[in-house]
């Protein structure tokens, strides 16, 4: 498993006129390693100690850990 450490302010940006939500930007190196492209459906999990787990959703052949 690959890990990266980023500052929250580098990943999350406030949305004007929407104080209850934020935009999350996935850094290019993370997207590339995960095989993500703009528009891909993803699953976001919150892990222990503030970690964020990003999984690309797709058919069984392209799913993580399944072949």
Q: Please give the pLDDT value at position 47.
A: 85
Dist CA 6 CA 27 (whole Å): 9
Dist CA 21 CA 12 (whole Å): 10
Domains of the chain plus CATH, in order, are: 27-67 (2.10.260)
DSSP 32: H
Q: Please give the pLDDT value at position 18.
A: 96
Cβ neighbours of residue 47 closer than 8 Å, sequence gap 6 or more: 53
Q: What is the mean pLDDT of each run of 10 residues along the chain (67 residues)?
A: 85 94 91 89 87 78 43
Strand-pair partners of 52: 46
Q: Please give the pLDDT value at position 59.
A: 52
Q: Please give the pLDDT value at position 19.
A: 94
């Amino acid at each position: 498993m690959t890990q990266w450490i980023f500052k929250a302010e580098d990943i999350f940006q406030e949305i004007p006129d929407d104080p209850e939500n934020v935009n999350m930007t996935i850094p290019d190196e993370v997207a590339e390693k995960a095989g993500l492209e703009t528009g891909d459906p993803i699953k976001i999990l919150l892990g222990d100690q503030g970690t964020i787990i990003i999984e690309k959703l797709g058919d069984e052949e392209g799913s993580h850990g399944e072949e």
